[in-house]
Amino acid sequence: MKVLVVGGAGYIGSHVVHAFLSAGHDVTVFDNLSSGQLINLVPGTGFIAGDIRHPDDLDAAFSRGFDAFVHLAAFKAVGESMSEPEKYSVNNLSGTINILNAACAHGCKRMVFSSSAAIFGSPQYLPIDEAHPANPESYYGFTKLEIERILAWYDRIRGLRFAALRYFNAAGYDPDGTVLGLESNPQNLLPIIMEVAMGWRKELQIFGNDYDTRDGTCVRDYVHVSDLARAHVLALETIDREDESLTVNLGSETGITVTEMLETAREVTGVEIPARYVDRRPGDPSELYATSAHAKKRIGWEAELSDCKTLISSTWDVYRKHQTAEK
């Protein structure tokens, strides 16, 4: 298929591009490079510089004729979404509506959407399945949930068939070394640990050690980005074949604590990685992990690379390449 990947120069997007190319699809990236990077553009990919806030950019892109698109262009910092919701309204909500309108106007009615576990809020039960009530606790999560609802209406009225993929905590790098871009000013646990290991940050601050978990630190479901990327291909092929939309949770089904991630990182890197306990971060649920039984049944997907060591070693390999490049 001829696929437009909106946000394809970002961390997850570039892995998605790699997965589509490997599966034999024809891929073009649309990105404004606000957080995406040219270094992430996989050779063999077309590139359109454009902004989802500008309907004309999208109209020009979709006029080239695509069979399907993947939408990953969004701001994703949970904390920032609570202090600057306007940014999230304009980019995540209006930007998505602009994409949908341009795609439908040009007859492109197959789509994969990056949704998030953030739509669920604090879990009422574990593991989280697709039927778990959605009650986002951040504006970021709210934007993802609203978009899922809009997609259901575009399905009904315009015949848009979508796959909404609710990622749990994306981590890791392509083990083949095709993606090399590092996120600038990362907000997530593993890249922060890597920056401490590299000596770019003084220490890791562990947000709370008094949770009711096996070691007192928060449990999350980290899923390898290459596993996530593969799910996009399977999901698109499924909705195309079945002409029916779907929504699935994508997690590894394994909970890892902050301390376990840190200890494994020390082991893999051989670096001490200074760390200090600080207060809990507001809004952090103690424990979150998914069941991916529905993803397995619906799109034939399960995580393969999402164990703690592979997550860390694949990430550390990329950070070390940057260290070598800087010398």
Q: What is the Cα–Cα distance from 128 to 122, expressed in whole angstroms?
A: 10
Site string for ligand UD1, 54-83 (x = CB under 6 A): ----------------------x-x-----
For the bound state, the minimum distance from the C-beta of residue 102 to ligand UD1, rounded and expressed in Å, comes to 26
Indicate the residue type of 104: C
141 binds ligand UD1 (CB under 6 A): yes
Is residue 22 close enough to count as binding ligand UD1 by CB under 6 A?
no
Residue 208 has phi, psi (to 5 degrees) of 95, 135
Query: Which residue among 11, 88, 139, 140 is the active-site one?
Result: 140
For every residue of 159-178, DSSP letters joined together read --EEEEEEE-EEE---TTS-
Q: Which stretch binds ligand UD1 (CB under 6 A): 65-73, 84-92, 203-211, 304-312?
A: 203-211
Tell me the C-alpha distance between 189 and 200, whole Å.
15
Q: Which residue has the tokens 């209406």?
A: 153
Residues 224-253 within binding reach of ligand UD1 (CB under 6 A): none
Torsion angles phi and psi, residue 220, rounded to 5:
-135, 160
Q: Is 202 in the site for ligand UD1 (CB under 6 A)?
A: no
For the bound state, the minimum distance from the C-beta of residue 193 to ligand UD1, rounded and expressed in Å, comes to 8
| 84 SS3 class | coil
| Binds ligand UD1 (CB under 6 A): choice among 6, 189, 303, 311 | 189
Nearer to ligand UD1, 50 or 251 (CB): 251
Cβ atoms 117, 167 nearer than 8 A: yes
**Could you please report the per-residue DSSP string of 32-66?**
--SS--GGGPPTT-EEEE--TT-HHHHHHHHTT--
SS3 assignment, position 259: helix
Residue for token digits 């001490």? 272
CA–CA–CA angle 285, 260, 191 (5° rounding) = 80
Segment lying near ligand UD1 (by CB under 6 A), choices 7-15, 113-121, 235-243, 289-297: 113-121
Within 279-308, the residues that bind ligand UD1 by CB under 6 A are: 281, 284
Q: Which is nearer to ligand UD1, 45 or 115 (CB)?
A: 115
Of all residues in the shown chain, the one whose CB is closest to ligand UD1 is 218
Place of tokens 């063999």: 44
201 with 195: CB under 8 angstroms?
yes
- Stretch of 23-31, 147-155, 175-183, 202-210 lying at the interface with ligand UD1 (CB under 6 A): 202-210
Contact stretch for ligand UD1 (CB under 6 A) within 31-39, 50-58, 116-124, 176-184: 116-124
Note if 139 is an active site residue: no
Q: Which residues contact ligand UD1 by CB under 6 A?
A: 76, 78, 116-118, 138, 141, 167, 169, 187-189, 192, 204-207, 218, 220, 258, 281, 284
Catalogue the active-site residues: 140
